[in-house]
Structure 1
């Protein structure tokens, strides 16, 4: 019989995080969820309450506990990474951080971008930047993730993995409202704001990224890994998929040179190469196959 693992999930109370927790529980793992207490974790898991930015509070909440795996869903800054690195040194056999495709925001390549395009060991870390200011953090999301990866990588305290997640679609609980944005405009005939040239991106379904994180927790590889379904998806393909489930609907595009554009109307490419994860043994789906299902899931909450 497989030995139950001690697993800590930091954050993870919504969207693909809660799906990840459900998979861990179903597998027989002993799961602990740590958050600030604003929402209760699902049944069957232990609960620790602490502000992860407060090192003393985090250390007190963790106490003497030791984990086989820590799955960090909400590490956004190098300061948070530095706190976690100190607190969990010697307390986990594996640390998996949920990162983002946004770490490649400066890599505008016509080819799918591999992990080596951003080496966290070569990323400069600046703990003195105003990471606590919400506006700064929002506008430096990719940089915060890059520097967080760097903190864990350059002076490792445990085996570390950063999962660079493509844009996530699907589910009836998609809190981002991005697909709903298109549905609302197609229903009403309102224009979809786009730049003069839009570029395709790689995506991943909400269930697939939960599967991927669960799988990663049980593997032994380290370093950055891209998580994206096969296939590039352009904006017109996404809009067509939404319109197909809205009778008589069609997207109307309005070009803007400098104004705010609609979600997924990318001014640069966001395509990730998923071959490392594939070689390691994970089987991805194809975005063109699951996209209609993702749209139906998202739109179903209004029907």
Structure 2
């Protein structure tokens, strides 16, 4: 297969790119060339900016692809450009949506592609993804545009230490905080259920979708089957860091009152129990198996950071914010 990834070097997509190459796919990456260290050997890079539709069209010329995957489309405007740019030049267009698009709070804790509605009143990011899906499915129905939708949930890899509260720019911050014996905030009582998926496991399900005619007009989530409480997740991060974390449980509403930007990520995602039924992806890709437990995956991640000391940076502003929220919570509790 001849496949184009728009992006292809991000947290999730870099693992997919590696597996695609390993399975003999002729892979092209269209991006701005900002993360060349994550381009796998064997991939061909086309330098350009997908946000410059005219320049993108010129860079791609008359190239045709079996599959086009856009890893960085977030709004209907982005998708509209893709529809016109790739109309007639691909047999399958894969849109990367988000499992956060599913109903919040859900009617049932087990999420399936067919029975769980798409509705998220708490997060604009998710509503934009829902709007993208709606636009693409309408285009598929009206013109036969060959769309497949994929909804990742919380997916991590070597370069991300996943938590409900951590610094995005400096993910090592939470490990440094644990090792320093500082308290770690867990939303709620830490008992809600969650799913963590390693990017190498996600890649197995995703690559299996590429070129499958049966996937046209369909949506799939691809996640681990392992279900953990948030307390267990933080305990696993602590075990990987070599230090038991000192967990402080704080209501999501309290956290949001101190930082309104947390509403989407908490009420619109991580504070809600999410257990995914992966029967649909397994039926189409029988060899998909999310084999890596979070306990082992996070050990791998911490080891990667330790092997790259320049990445072990801390976010002082985030640390101060965590300290301030904990102090405010303790003050209110004492009153």
Same fold (TM over 0.5): yes
Residues 1:212 and 2:199 aligned together:
no
Distance 1:95 1:68 in 2: 9
Distance 2:124 2:181 in 1: 33
Residues 108/192 of structure 1: CA separation in 2 closer, same or farther (3 Å cut): farther
Note the 1:24-103 alignment, pairs <5 A: 24-40=20-36, 41-103=39-101
User: Which one has the bigger helix percentage?
Assistant: 2
Residues 1:21 and 2:17 aligned together:
yes
Distance 1:94 1:119 in 2: 24
Note the 1:281-292 alignment, pairs <5 A: 281-282=285-286, 283-285=288-290, 290-292=293-295
- Whether contact under 8 Å (1:232, 1:271) holds in the other structure is yes
CA displacement, residues 174-218 of structure 1 (integer Å, 9 cap, x when unaligned): 276857454233212222223334421222111011222211114
- Whether contact under 8 Å (1:195, 1:258) holds in the other structure is no
Distance 2:284 2:26 in 1: 26
> What is the match of residue 200 of structure 1?
193
One of 293, 299, 302 as aligned partner of 2:302: 299
- Whether contact under 8 Å (2:70, 2:94) holds in the other structure is yes
- Whether contact under 8 Å (1:109, 1:269) holds in the other structure is no
- Whether contact under 8 Å (1:8, 1:70) holds in the other structure is yes
Report the aligned-residue RMSD.
Answer: 2.8
> What is the match of residue 314 of structure 2?
none
> What TM-score results when the alignment is normalised by the length of structure 1?
0.81
* Unmatched tracts of structure 2, length 5 or more: 308-335
Residues 34/228 of structure 1: CA separation in 2 closer, same or farther (3 Å cut): same
Residues 1:279 and 2:265 aligned together:
no
Distance 1:238 1:273 in 2: 20
- Whether contact under 8 Å (2:186, 2:247) holds in the other structure is no
Distance apart, 1:302 and its partner CA: 2.4
> What TM-score results when the alignment is normalised by the length of structure 2?
0.74
SS in 1 for 2:150: strand
Distance apart, 1:107 and its partner CA: 4.2
Distance apart, 1:273 and its partner CA: 2.1
Note the 1:136-285 alignment, pairs <5 A: 140-156=124-140, 157-171=144-158, 173-174=159-160, 178=166, 180-198=172-190, 199-220=192-213, 221-222=215-216, 223-256=218-251, 257-260=253-256, 266-282=270-286, 283-285=288-290
SS in 1 for 2:50: coil
- Whether contact under 8 Å (1:101, 1:270) holds in the other structure is no
Note the 1:4-15 alignment, pairs <5 A: 5-15=1-11
Residues 251/294 of structure 1: CA separation in 2 closer, same or farther (3 Å cut): farther
Distance apart, 1:29 and its partner CA: 2.2
Aligned residues: 280
Distance 1:201 1:23 in 2: 26
> What is the match of residue 135 of structure 1?
none
Residues 246/106 of structure 1: CA separation in 2 closer, same or farther (3 Å cut): closer
Distance 2:242 2:199 in 1: 25
* Unmatched tracts of structure 1, length 5 or more: 124-137
CA displacement, residues 100-123 of structure 1 (integer Å, 9 cap, x when unaligned): 111115242442111124668xx9
CA displacement, residues 45-97 of structure 1 (integer Å, 9 cap, x when unaligned): 32222321222222222211110011221111111111001110110011112
